Amino acid sequence: MTVVIDRTKPEAPKTGPVSAAATARAKGFTLGLYKPRTPIYPKLVHGQWRRIKWILMIVMLTIYYVTPWIRWERPGALPDQAVLVDFAGGRFYFFGIQLWPQEVYFITGLLVMGALALFLVSALFGRLWCGYACPQTVWTDLFIYVERAFEGDRNARMKLDAAPWSFDKAWRKIGKHAVWLAIGFGTGGAWIFYFHDAPTLITHFWIGQAPATAYIFCALLTATTYAFAGFMREQVCVYLCPWPRIQGAMLDEHSLQVTYLRDRGEARGPHKKGQTWEGRGDCIDCHACVVVCPMGIDIRDGSQLECINCGLCIDACDEIMDKVERPRGLIAYDTDAAVAAREMRQTPVYKLLRPRTAYYAVALTLVSGLMIWGLTHRSALDVHVLRDRNPMFVRLHDGAIRDGYTLKIANRGFEAQDVQVAFAGPVGAKLRTPGDKAAGETLSVRVEPNQVRAVRVFVTVPAAAIAAPNMPAVFAARAGRDAMTVKTNFLSGAANAP
């Protein structure tokens, strides 16, 4: 059958929505990238994991805010800030260590070490990093602390949000947001101190003389801290952070994680004082573990991508177990393998040493060893040699040949160095710099700490020692216990000589 499409007729007007977006608009809502956020009001809980989290929060925040203010004496005009990323000067200072841009492999090594340590900890203990040390967790915890201070605990906050605007609601909300912004500003402010001398920058910052990048990054960090810890919270972990997905590859059934011991908890159900515990589980279905969860999940549903292993549900459940006079630890750090074994009435086996934990431990040990060796054997001396290209060589009146080189000698140490330079290759080679009257077998070049000095060097070889138009040669430099050699060649054009 032939279908004839008549394009001469005007298209019939569309009577209804034609796309999903239009359908959504017609229904009065818009499509977003994420599902709408359901507000979470985590309840305050007390217990050992909460205590550990408070302590770690204080330690982490103190390290972050205080580090740029730690002074570390260095000689001469070198900065006396213990930790400083000096982009302008091209240096990274970390207490007694200073790294140059050419030594970026140390930073790479440090990142590899951090990643391997994270893999190992995750394989052994699940997402401990997420639950206790991740900046998103730490700052969110701090923001929730402020929120509680202004708006009260879970029920009070829910009531306040549902209530119409009033003076009481306004001052609480304004106060909370003002403190959040102040913390965000403090966080952005602390960040920029890692890149400049902190005492100088803080003065220049307030009088408008700091670099534009300092204001830009301070504003950026203020905004991201305020948004991430104040509003997005668990959404950062669920939607932005790749780690929850990656960690799936690190974990197995023997990884310790916050686990609901269903072998002990089920069958769950309400329990009245005086009722028997025979024939039922210990979980009284009180939801105390759910309302304290900052991720808004129910750990009794099993291990979930959202769970950051913070242990707060353990504290909440332990409180309940105390009240109903059952043993603590219905929710505990445990393994899926152990729960499954107990369900089959077998003795659980805990395996800390497994192929994956062994690989990570070996790799971490190797990289750490290499890093320690590299740092302890790091040479403060670095030499680069550039040959003169024009002219390539000069024939002197007595037939001797002179080649010119530029030596770039770096002193990566904190003390001035007298670097002894020698030239090995053609017999009888003599060195001098353009200002020297006499040439010698070695040159002494003084290089100030943390400086690169470029030196022009002439090497003269007697005519009798010229054996080939291009002879291999080596510059050897020595300063204290540091020594290095750089290969080059000595050109004479001898083959073309008359």
CB of 317 to ligand SF4, least distance (A): 3
Q: How far apart are CA 241 and CA 236, in angstroms?
A: 6
Residue closer to ligand SF4 by CB (options 227, 290) is: 290
Residue 430's alpha-carbon distances to 45, 86, 424, 439, 461, in angstroms, are 79, 40, 10, 6, 7
- Contact region with ligand SF4 (CB under 6 A), list: 1-9, 311-319, 451-459, 480-488: 311-319
- x/- track of binding to ligand SF4 for residues 248-267 (CB under 6 A): ----------x-x----x--
Which residues 86-125 are close enough to bind ligand SF4 by CB under 6 A?
A: none
* Binding footprint of ligand SF4, residue count (CB under 6 A): 28
Please report which residue ranges of 228-354 form alpha helices under DSSP H: 234-235, 243-246, 262-265, 288-291, 312-323, 336-343
Residue closer to ligand SF4 by CB (options 313, 339) is: 313
Out of 142, 183, 198, 316, point to the residue binding ligand SF4 (CB under 6 A).
Answer: 316
Q: Are 425 and 411 in contact (CB under 8 A)?
A: no
Q: Give the β-pairing of 83-86 and 470-479.
A: unpaired
Residue closer to ligand SF4 by CB (options 172, 300) is: 300
Question: What b-and-e string marks burial along 113-126, b requiring 16 or more CB atoms within 10 Å of the CB?
Answer: beebbbbbbbbbbb
Q: Using CA atoms in the order 258, 262, 266, 271, what is the torsion angle rounded to 10 degrees?
A: -20
Residue 302, Ramachandran bin (φ over 0: left; ψ between -120 and 50: alpha; else beta): left
**Does the footprint of ligand SF4 cover residue 190 (CB under 6 A)?**
no
Out of 232, 251, 320, 367, point to the residue binding ligand SF4 (CB under 6 A).
Answer: 320
Residue closer to ligand SF4 by CB (options 286, 474) is: 286
HSE-up (13 A, CA, CB side) for residue 333:
17
CB of 362 to ligand SF4, least distance (A): 30
**Does the footprint of ligand SF4 cover residue 134 (CB under 6 A)?**
no
CB of 134 to ligand SF4, least distance (A): 12
**Does the footprint of ligand SF4 cover residue 289 (CB under 6 A)?**
yes
- x/- track of binding to ligand SF4 for residues 325-364 (CB under 6 A): -----xx---------------------------------
Residue type, 223: A
Out of 313, 400, 461, 477, point to the residue binding ligand SF4 (CB under 6 A).
Answer: 313
**Does the footprint of ligand SF4 cover residue 192 (CB under 6 A)?**
no
Out of 161, 168, 253, 285, point to the residue binding ligand SF4 (CB under 6 A).
Answer: 285
**Does the footprint of ligand SF4 cover residue 288 (CB under 6 A)?**
yes
Residue 468's alpha-carbon distances to 173, 386, 400, 496, in angstroms, are 85, 21, 13, 10
Closest by Cα among 464, 482, 284 to 377: 482
Residues in touch with ligand SF4 (CB under 6 A): 258, 260, 265, 283-289, 292-293, 295, 297, 299-300, 307-313, 316-317, 320, 330-331
